Amino acid sequence: MQIHANLPLNLWDELCVTASYLNNLTTIKSLNGKMPYEKWYKKRLNLSHLQEIGCYIFILIQNKHNSKIFE
């Protein structure tokens, strides 16, 4: 992941956490092709929050002094 996304070496720990998270989201043959989450909670997990590693993001900083945001 790190080489593919051209990320710096200091992010190795975050990538390990991400790899573990993604591994837990994969389907398992012994669970009849279901994710562990689906088996435990009896509902399908929403995966819309996942983004490609290395993609550009934009963060909205809400400022109470900017009245246009709170209109």
Count the Cβ atoms, other than its own, within 10 Å of residue 71: 5
Select the more confidently predicted residue: 62 or 19: 19
Question: What gap in Å lies between CA 71 and CA 63, rounded to an integer?
Answer: 12
Instruction: Enumerate residues 6+ apart whose C-beta is below 8 A from 33.
Output: 27
Show me where the domains of the chain are located. Answer: 1-71
Confidence of residue 67 (pLDDT cuts 50, 70, 90): low
pLDDT in tens, 23-47: 888 878 888 888 888 888 888 888 8
* Mean model confidence pLDDT for the chain: 80
How far is Cα 24 from Cα 22, in angstroms, rounded to an integer? 5
Pair 42, 50: CB distance under 8 Å: no
Say if residues 39 and 31 touch (Cβ distance below 8 Å). Answer: yes
pLDDT at residue 68 tops 70: no
